[in-house]
Amino acid sequence: MTDMIPAWVNGTLTPVEKLEAHVKGLRHKAISVFLMRGDKVLLQRRALGKYHTPGLWANTCCTHPHWGEAAMDCATRRLDQELGLDGVTLTFRDTVEYRADVGSGLIEHEVVDIFVGDLPEGREARPNPDEVMDTIWQPLPEVMRAVVETPHVFTPWLQIYLRDHASVIFHDA
């Protein structure tokens, strides 16, 4: 079964195969989640088998909603699928748009609903190795500095979020 995601084609929101959206650089819907523990943010390192940006560090989780799937439902589903975390309360922060080359001729042109949640001490991620090769809790200021100093180890979207949208995403962190 192909993974149909919501994308704009000729100004109309239409179900499109995920890879097609990235090959053509179509504007499409996405979600991103940032889990916090105090001033620390949970980052994931993308599995080497991912079809773009393998091995790079990203925010806690991100994906595309299925056609007809609500953004919050998608965020909750994906936290469980990627990191084995269920029952996490998420708060919607904002919708942002970006366009980025993610390598191999693929373009992310995303309209992203961003969610933030708190993960208490004692709850730990159980990464799905098909999705995530590593996780780390890092103080937000250290992540922001590392993204500037070593951008090649971070996904383009994490760089954009921290450069252009940190005040909205982390306003109470």
Residue 68 lies in a domain: yes
What average pLDDT does the chain have? Answer: 96
Long-range contacts, 98-106 (Cβ 8 Å, 24+): 98/157, 98/160, 98/164, 99/25, 100/156, 100/157, 100/160, 101/156, 102/22, 102/52, 102/53, 102/155, 102/156, 103/52, 103/53, 104/51, 104/52, 105/23, 106/22, 106/23, 106/51, 106/52
User: Model pTM?
Assistant: 0.95
Q: Report pLDDT for 3.
A: 82
Q: Check residue 172 and give its pLDDT.
A: 75
Whole-angstrom CA distances from 130 to 51, 123, 133 are 11, 21, 8
| pLDDT digit string, tens, across residues 24-45 | 999 999 999 999 999 999 999 9
Using DSSP's 3-state secondary structure scheme, residue 61 falls into strand
Task: Note the pLDDT of residue 7.
Answer: 97
Q: How many helices (H) and strands (E) does the chain have?
A: 5, 9
Q: Is pLDDT of 1 > 60? A: no
Q: Is residue 136 part of a domain?
A: yes
Q: Has residue 9 been placed in a domain?
A: yes
pLDDT of residue 117: 98
Residue-range definition of the domain harbouring residue 122: 4-168
Residue 83 parent element (H or E)? helix 71-83
| CATH number of the domain enclosing 111 | 3.90.79.10
Residue 173 placed within a domain: no
Identify which of 161, 25, 162 has the alpha carbon closest to the alpha carbon of residue 9: 25
Rounded CA separation 82/63 (Å): 10
Diameter of the chain measured on Cα atoms: 48
Q: State the total domains in the chain.
A: 1
**Strand positions, DSSP E, 59-161:** 61-63, 90-103, 106-118, 132-139
Q: At residue 2, does pLDDT exceed 70?
A: no
- pLDDT score recorded for residue 67: 96
Residues marked active site are found at 62, 110
Q: What is the pLDDT of residue 173?
A: 58
Tell me the per-residue pLDDT of 45-91, one tens digit each, with 9 for 90 and over: 999 999 999 999 999 999 999 999 999 999 999 999 999 999 999 99
Question: What is the tens place of the pLDDT at every residue in 97-154?
Answer: 999 999 989 999 999 999 999 999 999 999 999 999 999 999 999 999 999 999 999 9
**For 49, phi and psi rounded to 5 degrees?**
-85, 0
Residues 6+ apart with CB under 8 A from 50: 131
